[in-house]
Structure 1
Amino acid sequence: MFGECHAHIFMDGINYREAVKCHKDGADEKIIREHLEAYKKAGISFVRDGGDPYGASVLARKLAPEYDIDYRTSAFAIHKAGHYGSIVGKSFTDLKEFHNLVLEAGRQGADFIKIMTTGLLDFADQGKVTGTPLDKKEVCEMVHIAHEEGFAVMSHTNGVYGVQAAIEAGVDSLEHGNYMDEECISMLADSRTVWVPTLVTVRNLRGCGRYEDRVLIPIIRKAEENLFLAFQKKAQVALGSDAGAYMVMHGNGIVDEYTAFRSVLGDSDDLENWLRQGENAIKTRFRHPRF
């Protein structure tokens, strides 16, 4: 089985607000163990967690060896004040504060740094991303600071401008990447950046009633087109489902993601080898500097 290259152990895939309540006064060990058990039952032995403000992913990493899981985490994600990201981390107002948060993540034992450079898909406005993306010069400095401290960088990024800025900055992995164009895919193919598309964060919403399928289908089709281009151009890609997000369950999320990839690209040795290469790149780079 493939590893899960994008998860959030503090969320439950059902109700974000209720999940947060369970951890707001301290990470709930019982719930974390239930999620770890779900990964073990699914045969998943590698999980990369994008972090949270509650210490849940740090505790998960501590407990994971009991479940024979190699668990890596950013401890928390880092976002600029006034921009998207508070649900998974801590904010900065200037690069000095950003640097201090990188050091704080390191003290908490973070294996890598996660940054938030754009907002989310705007389901009310087709083709748009919420909020304003961070300026490419600032993103470049953020990545430089994290790299200088010895950390790989995981970047939550959507939209053409955001993706190009992240790739140019040298992020080690690009998460989501919705609404990329062909130029972005070509840039990915020419870079070291590993793309983790998290297809099922939208695909699994079909029929659930939260959004109309007519809103979801164009997003799904665009993601499929980009995935096909990435496969053609041999950009580095790895499987990650954003497990814990709504309708994306721990353990099953990555199974759904692999199913989605095969529905787009077919079931072949070439696909499996391609994804193994991407996952191996994640495993090699996203580890604490002490290792």
Structure 2
Amino acid sequence: MFGECHAHMLMDGVNYREAVARHRDAVCEEKVREFFEAYQRAGVSFIRDGGDNAGVSKRASEIAGEYGIDYRTPVFAVHKEGHYGRIVGRSFSNMKEFHQRVQEAAAEGADFIKIMTTGLLDFNNHGAVTGTPLDRDEVREMVHIAHEEGFAVMSHTNGIYGVQAAVEAGVDSLEHGNYMDEETLSMLADSHTVWVPTLVTVRNLLGCGRYEDEVLLPIIRQAETMVRTAFRKKIKVALGSDAGAYCVPHGKGICQEYQSFQEILGDSDEVREWLENGEKIIRQKFRRS
């Protein structure tokens, strides 16, 4: 089975607020172990976490070996004050503070740095992303600082401007990447960045009642088109489900993500090799040098 290149051990796929409350006073190790057992059953032996602000992924990294799992974590994600990201990390207001966050992550055993450069999909306005994306010069400096400290960079990013800024800055992996156009996909193809689309974060919402299916389907169809274009252009792509997000269970989520790719591109050795190569790059890069 493929590795899970984007997960959140903090979250449970059912109720975010309850999941956060579960770890409020101390990490609920029982729940973390439950998730590791789910990955074992799914045959998953590699997990790259997206970090959190409760110490869950840090503790998970300490016990993953008991389950034969190679687990990588940024410990926490880093976001700019006033922008999206508080739920998974710590903030900064200027580049000096960003550098401090990177040093904190290093001291706490981070394998890589995760940055948040845009918001989320705006389900009330197709094609739009919540909040204001970080300026491209700011993103470039963030990536430069992290690289200088010996870290690869995982970037939560959506939208054309956000993705282009992240790719130009040299992020090592692009998470989500919704609403890219042809030009942006071509930029990605010419870069060293690995794209982790996390398709099931939207696909698994179909029929659940949280959003109307007619709202979700255009997003899903556009993502399918981007995946086909990525395969045609040989963009580097790896599987990650954003496990722990609503309706995306740990262990099962990555299997659903691979199934999504099979449904879009067909089940072939070429597709499998393409995805294996993307994961190989992530395994090689996302450990501190």
Which TM-score applies when normalising by structure 2? 1.00
Q: Secondary structure at the match of 2:87?
A: coil
Aligned residue for 2:96? 96
Aligned residue for 1:168? 168
Q: Distance in 2 between matches of 1:150 and 1:62?
A: 21
Aligned residue for 1:58? 58
Q: Secondary structure at the match of 2:36?
A: helix
Q: Secondary structure at the match of 1:246?
A: coil
Aligned residue for 2:218? 218
Aligned residue for 1:256? 256
Q: Distance in 2 between matches of 1:142 and 1:288?
A: 16
Q: Distance in 1 between matches of 2:41 and 2:54?
A: 25
Q: Deviations over 1:128-162 (max 9, x none)?
A: 00000000000000000000000000000000000
8 Å contact kept, 1:76–1:105? yes
Q: Secondary structure at the match of 1:53?
A: coil
The count of residues paired between Structure 1 and Structure 2 equals 289
Ranges in structure 1 where 5+ consecutive residues have no aligned partner? none
Q: How far does residue 26 in structure 1 lie from its aligned partner after superposition?
A: 1.9
AA aligned opposite 2:281 = A
Q: Secondary structure at the match of 2:6?
A: strand
Matching of residue 25 in structure 1 with residue 20 in structure 2 = no
Aligned residue for 1:237? 237
Aligned residue for 1:190? 190
Q: Distance in 2 between matches of 1:45 and 1:59?
A: 17
AA aligned opposite 1:75 = V
Query: Identity across aligned pairs (percent)?
Result: 69
Q: How far does residue 184 in structure 1 lie from its aligned partner after superposition?
A: 1.1
Q: Secondary structure at the match of 1:277?
A: helix
Q: Secondary structure at the match of 2:195?
A: strand
Q: Distance in 1 between matches of 2:228 and 2:52?
A: 32
Q: Distance in 1 between matches of 2:8 and 2:160?
A: 25
8 Å contact kept, 1:114–1:153? yes
Q: Deviations over 1:46-92 (max 9, x none)?
A: 00001000110011111000000000000000000000000000000
Q: How far does residue 288 in structure 1 lie from its aligned partner after superposition?
A: 2.2
Q: Secondary structure at the match of 2:86?
A: coil
Q: Distance in 1 between matches of 2:172 and 2:143?
A: 9
Q: Deviations over 1:6-65 (max 9, x none)?
A: 000010000000000011112111110001111011100000001000110011111000
Query: Could you say what the CA RMSD is over the residues aligned between the two structures, in angstroms?
Result: 0.4
Q: Deviations over 1:98-139 (max 9, x none)?
A: 000000000110000000000000001111000000000000
Ranges in structure 2 where 5+ consecutive residues have no aligned partner? none
Aligned residue for 1:144? 144
Q: Distance in 1 between matches of 2:179 and 2:124?
A: 15
Q: Secondary structure at the match of 1:237?
A: coil
Aligned residue for 1:200? 200
Aligned residue for 1:247? 247
Q: Distance in 1 between matches of 2:204 and 2:7?
A: 15
Q: Distance in 1 between matches of 2:259 and 2:77?
A: 28
Aligned residue for 1:274? 274
8 Å contact kept, 1:109–1:288? no
AA aligned opposite 2:214 = R
8 Å contact kept, 1:188–1:235? yes
Q: Distance in 2 between matches of 1:200 and 1:241?
A: 6
Q: Distance in 2 between matches of 1:19 and 1:115?
A: 22
8 Å contact kept, 1:202–1:216? yes
Q: Distance in 2 between matches of 1:179 and 1:36?
A: 32
Greater shift, 111-120 or 22-31, is seen at 22-31
Q: Distance in 2 between matches of 1:285 and 1:25?
A: 34
